[in-house]
Amino acid sequence: MNDKFKEYFRGILGGQELEEFLRQVQDGESVKKALRINTLLCKPKQKLIADVFDLEPLLWNSTGYFYKSKIAIGNTDHYKRGHVYSQEASSQVAAELLDVKEKQVILDLCASPGSKTTHIAALAKNNAFIIANEIDSTRYLKLRNNLRHYGVICHAISSLDPMHFAQNYTNIFDRILVDAPCTGEGMYFKFPAVLNHWNMKTVKFNARRQKNILTRAFEALKPGGKIVYSTCTLNLEENEKVVDYLLKKYLGNAKLENIDMKHLGLSGTKDGTGEKRKAKEPMLKLWPQEFQTGGFFACVITKTSATEMAPVKEKVKLTSRQKRQAAHRVSTKFTEAKASWKICSRKEVLSVENMINQVLEFGGFKTPENFVIVKKDNTYFLQHSAFYRRFQDLPVRSLGLPILVKHENGSKKATPECLRWLNIE
Ligand SMILES: C[S@@+](CC[C@H](N)C(=O)[O-])C[C@H]1O[C@@H](n2cnc3c(N)ncnc32)[C@H](O)[C@@H]1O
């Protein structure tokens, strides 16, 4: 066990709790596996799922469950059909706290691989506009594939620095999730060897980066809008102190909300420090030893009045990989921009709807309200119309759900994503 890690947490936790924490943080075996039912493609608590997975409900998310199964989740039919998302239990609290409503404009700033984007889309019933941003281009494909696999129509994917949103979309978003890159102490159980490399230098590097990301996110938030700031780490530097930094920087514009622990089913439970949780608390830390989960931190900040963008003076050190990627982004940023997406005419829309209805025995497919059909190369996509109303200049990499492909011989075929979404796979 890394002595510096132990010493650091001795400053936060008492004797008994510290021992339990240190044991749990290294013990992957005792962490309970969890999933979330993807209500975009499947009804909650579908009996079939209950039969296969032996489910135990999570306190803080009505569509989340601990499960036991002899079959790896990735090999099940439920997974292949996009009915279940394998998601660490504690992290399922983040989207729940975002207070998502239909028709909102939502930014998920650090989105890949998309566990929380898919959760947000499910809460919005696919009827909000979500920009899923992932700065690391190598993580983009995983995000895109997940959003398609789980039937998220209402999204665009970008790979931009958070600064882009602060500069170009100041005071715009109803909701922003900042699920920040962090040291990941709450996930050490997956790779206990990482614990040996824990040090304050890395913690501080992450904290500086998180302050920068959270500040830029806050600037893009609409007055009255809410940010959830979350990490899967447990130290104070990357959590409480990052939030304090923002509240001081934007004193008078930012308010830390009280989280309704009762609503989350957590009031009265003991937290990792051995304290009893109150009905309302400003920050939530789920300690690994409490419910045999990974560790997680989350809080909710409201913007009380408009802000201007703070001058750029942060010197965030990028890794050499991030520098290469930034250069790549500048050169390729606009290659997949709006010019290549063509909105279909009324006539084309009817023809796409007809073709999909030929595949469906029962017919009746109609482009949902607030959505448009767009053609790119040989594929037709269903997309949220908010993109065309408000985000035409956003350099996106992917938009919406592919529903129909035109083959070289002229034949057209509904995509697997479309069939899954229409539930007839
Ligand atoms: C904790 S992960 C996100 C997990 C994701 N929200 C989910 O639930 O599936 C943090 C993400 O932040 C991205 N990231 C790294 N540096 C960043 C930066 N400077 N600005 C924004 N995002 C960054 C990482 O590439 C990583 O994908």
Closest atom of ligand 1 relative to the 116 alpha carbon: 8
Closest atom of ligand 1 relative to the 91 alpha carbon: 8
Chain segment 152-205, per-residue pLDDT in tens: 999 999 999 999 999 999 999 999 999 999 999 999 988 888 888 999 999 999
> Is 19 a domain residue?
no
Residue closest via CA to ligand 1's atom 24 equals 181
Amino acid at the residue 311: P
Whether the CB of 139 sits within 6 Å of ligand 1: yes
| 44 vs 57, residue with greater confidence | 57
Mean pLDDT of 291-306: 97
pLDDT value at position 137? 84
Peptide bond into 181 cis (omega under 30): no
**Number of residues assigned to the chain:** 425
Range of the domain at 390: 338-421
pLDDT value at position 18? 94
pLDDT value at position 331? 40
pLDDT value at position 360? 75
Q: Which of 42, 154, 182, 232 is catalytic?
A: 232
Q: Report yes or no: 113 and 125 within 8 Å, Cβ to Cβ.
A: no
**What's the mean per-residue pLDDT of the chain?**
90
DSSP state of 104: -
Half-sphere exposure of 117 (CA within 13 A, CB side): 30
Are 116 and 236 in the same domain?
A: yes
> Is 13 a domain residue?
no
> Is 80 a domain residue?
yes
pLDDT at 104 over 90: yes
Q: Does 154 participate in catalysis according to the annotation?
A: no
pLDDT at 423 over 80: no
Q: Report yes or no: 398 and 363 within 8 Å, Cβ to Cβ.
A: no
Whether the CB of 154 sits within 6 Å of ligand 1: no
Whether the CB of 116 sits within 6 Å of ligand 1: yes
pLDDT value at position 183? 96
> Is 20 a domain residue?
no
Q: Report yes or no: 296 and 286 within 8 Å, Cβ to Cβ.
A: yes
Distance 178 CA to ligand 1 centre (A): 8
Are 247 and 364 in the same domain?
A: no
pLDDT value at position 421? 87
Rounded CA separation 80/182 (Å): 30
pTM for this structure? 0.93
Spell out the residues 6+ positions from residue 387 whose beta carbon is closer than 8 angstroms to its own.
129, 156, 394, 396, 399
pLDDT at 315 over 60: no
Chain segment 197-246, per-residue pLDDT in tens: 999 999 999 999 999 999 999 999 999 999 999 999 999 999 999 999 99
Are 273 and 254 in the same domain?
A: yes
Are 174 and 262 in the same domain?
A: yes
Chain segment 322-364, per-residue pLDDT in tens: 666 665 554 444 444 556 778 899 999 999 999 888 877 767 7
Distance 349 CA to ligand 1 centre (A): 36
Whether the CB of 110 sits within 6 Å of ligand 1: yes
Closest atom of ligand 1 relative to the 184 alpha carbon: 1
| Domains identified in the chain, total number | 3
Are 184 and 245 in the same domain?
A: yes
Chain segment 108-117, per-residue pLDDT in tens: 999 999 999 9
Whether the CB of 162 sits within 6 Å of ligand 1: yes
Residue 65 maps to which CATH number?
3.30.70.1170
Distance 221 CA to ligand 1 centre (A): 18
